[in-house]
């Protein structure tokens, strides 16, 4: 699968909300608080003056309810029938009724379907009580957080401190145990640990400790190649000494999960340059298999991340090879321009790049390599000692182009969007004003066809 899911389940006050948000931020994934959807449904019932205990009434409301999702600061937010409930879903009235509503089979099925649809936003860190058992039973990463009742009561009391009418410690503990019983004994999707979930007792652990355990477990799935690491290290040392190599913004690259690095192409140096400073990832890139006919070169190529393409199979073979890497959670370096520039300027992207991006449904990180054309252009026999800097931009996530898919024109618009982001990095690298300077002519001509396809800051999906 090209999008990954981390299922973080556990009882109330086990730390899963804070942990899941921090994990999502560390991995550049999307955070999903599944409990907020149940609160949203409960809020709607209360707002419309409907019974929260009559399942027939609730089921009838769900049949006409429209919940639209959008991204805000790396997390999923939603509107209900065109209204953003915001913090109203955290009210005391909602808290008193949400357990009853969440226990209804019709509600759990309705919300479960919408949680699964969120894969359109990319890789997810999702918290809840049945994520690893019901919503995403095949999730590759499952964690069950727990803590002693006393520890959980202290945490919940800390959350409530300062609020009017703060309850006693014993009352909070009793309330948590009662909620555990309700969640564990309900007929539909009860709170339970998935058989293949890793249990983390958060008692006495800091948030940083728990987040580190989860992030490290995810990162360990990245392929390791000793040959790749040795070659990367030696190349970096040489580049730093010879070309004063450096990179900027490498923290923008997700540390795990499928991802595309979309870079300009000015030199044969570009593939290793893009991945040289990304020690935490095993970067794959595509090359003609004819370059690796020698058995030694073939052995070396496979171990340093080369995806060898059989040109006799055409674009379909290349597409399948690329998608295979991304669906396995790998990171792939692509050059939308297709071939090296002859004059050092950006070129138009190939049409297939937009199709690949749409099908892969993974984050796309724009990359601009500055200086490789001066150091080793077409026809050069040796690398000149010219400064080289690699610039990484903010990732583009699948929701940014979800409305552009389905047609050749739409795929061209996706490719143009990616190239425009690369051109932004180019202008920044060259010290050109980002807002007043026009993009390169070829990018401007492609973006002209997209001028009516501007992506709103809050794009909604139902």
Neighbours of 401 (CB within 10 A): 24
Same domain flag for 299 and 434? yes
Asked whether residue 455 is assigned to any structural domain, the reply reads no
Same domain flag for 259 and 200? no
Q: Is residue 305 a contact partner of residue 282, using CB atoms and an 8 Å limit? A: yes
Same domain flag for 186 and 94? yes
- What is the structure's pLDDT at 312? 61
CATH of residue 93's domain is: 3.40.50.300
Asked whether residue 319 is assigned to any structural domain, the reply reads yes
Cα–Cα distance measured from residue 390 to residue 246, given in angstroms and rounded to the nearest whole number? 7
Of the residues 219, 248, 266, the one at which a domain ends: 219
- What is the structure's pLDDT at 121? 82
Q: Is residue 120 a contact partner of residue 402, using CB atoms and an 8 Å limit? A: yes
What residue numbers bound the domain in which 351 lies?
A: 226-448
Same domain flag for 208 and 234? no
What proportions of the chain, in percent to the nearest 5, are helix, strand and coil?
Answer: 50, 15, 35
Asked whether residue 58 is assigned to any structural domain, the reply reads yes
Asked whether residue 454 is assigned to any structural domain, the reply reads no
Sheet with 306-309, strands from edge to edge, namely 246-248, 389-392, 364-370, 259-263, 331-334, 283-288, 306-309
**Total domain count for the chain?**
2
Same domain flag for 25 and 135? yes
Phi and psi angles of residue 57, each rounded to the nearest 5 degrees, phi first: -65, -45
- What is the structure's pLDDT at 310? 64
Same domain flag for 238 and 120? no
Asked whether residue 274 is assigned to any structural domain, the reply reads yes
Of the residues 166, 192, 219, the one at which a domain ends: 219
- What is the structure's pLDDT at 286? 79
Same domain flag for 297 and 418? yes
Same domain flag for 399 and 295? yes
- What is the structure's pLDDT at 306? 82
Enumerate residue ranges in the chain where pLDDT < 50: 1, 436-437, 440, 442-443, 446-462
Same domain flag for 348 and 325? yes
Of the residues 187, 219, 251, the one at which a domain ends: 219
- What is the structure's pLDDT at 288? 72
Cα–Cα distance measured from residue 45 to residue 51, given in angstroms and rounded to the nearest whole number? 7
pTM for this model (two decimals): 0.65
């Amino acid at each position: 699968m090209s999008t990954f899911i981390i299922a973080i389940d556990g009882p109330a006050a086990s730390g899963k909300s804070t942990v899941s948000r921090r994990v999502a931020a560390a991995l550049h994934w999307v955070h999903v608080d599944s409990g907020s959807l149940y609160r949203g449904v409960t809020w709607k019932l209360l707002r419309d003056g409907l019974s929260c205990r009559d399942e027939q009434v609730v089921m009838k409301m769900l049949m006409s309810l429209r919940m639209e999702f959008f991204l805000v600061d790396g997390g999923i937010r939603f509107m209900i029938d065109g209204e953003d409930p915001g913090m109203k879903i955290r009210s005391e009235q909602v808290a008193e009724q949400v357990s009853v509503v969440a226990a209804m089979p019709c509600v759990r099925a309705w919300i479960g379907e919408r949680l699964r649809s969120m894969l359109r936003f990319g890789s997810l860190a999702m918290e809840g009580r049945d994520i690893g058992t019901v919503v995403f039973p095949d999730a590759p990463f499952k964690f069950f957080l727990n803590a002693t009742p006393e520890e959980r009561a202290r945490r919940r009391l800390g959350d409530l401190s300062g609020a009017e009418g703060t309850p006693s410690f014993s009352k909070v503990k009793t309330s948590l145990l009662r909620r555990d019983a309700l969640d564990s004994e309900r007929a539909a999707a009860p709170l339970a640990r998935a058989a293949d979930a890793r249990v983390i007792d958060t008692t006495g652990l800091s948030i940083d400790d728990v987040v580190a355990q989860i992030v490290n477990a995810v990162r360990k799935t990245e392929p390791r190649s000793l040959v790749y690491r040795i070659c990367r290290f030696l190349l970096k040392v040489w580049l730093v000494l010879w070309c004063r190599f450096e990179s900027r913004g490498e923290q923008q690259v997700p540390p795990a999960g499928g991802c595309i690095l979309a870079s300009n192409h000015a030199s044969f140096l570009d593939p290793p340059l893009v991945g040289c400073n990304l020690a935490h990832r095993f970067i794959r890139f595509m090359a003609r298999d004819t370059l690796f006919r020698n058995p030694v070169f073939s052995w070396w190529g496979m171990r340093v991340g080369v995806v060898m393409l059989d040109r006799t199979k055409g674009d379909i073979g290349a597409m399948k090879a690329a998608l295979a890497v991304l669906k396995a959670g790998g990171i792939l370096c692509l050059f939308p321009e297709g071939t090296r520039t002859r004059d050092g300027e950006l070129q138009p992207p190939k049409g297939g790049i937009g199709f690949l991006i749409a099908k892969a449904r993974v984050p796309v990180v724009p990359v601009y390599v500055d200086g490789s054309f001066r150091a080793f252009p077409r026809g050069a026999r040796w690398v000149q000692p010219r400064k080289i800097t690699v610039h990484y931009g903010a990732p583009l996530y699948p929701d940014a182009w979800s409305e552009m898919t389905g047609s050749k024109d739409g795929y061209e618009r996706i490719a143009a969007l990616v190239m425009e982001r690369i051109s932004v990095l180019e202008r920044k690298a060259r010290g050109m004003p980002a807002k007043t300077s026009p993009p390169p002519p070829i990018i401007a001509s492609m973006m002209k066809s997209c001028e009516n396809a501007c992506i709103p800051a809050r794009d909604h999906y139902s």
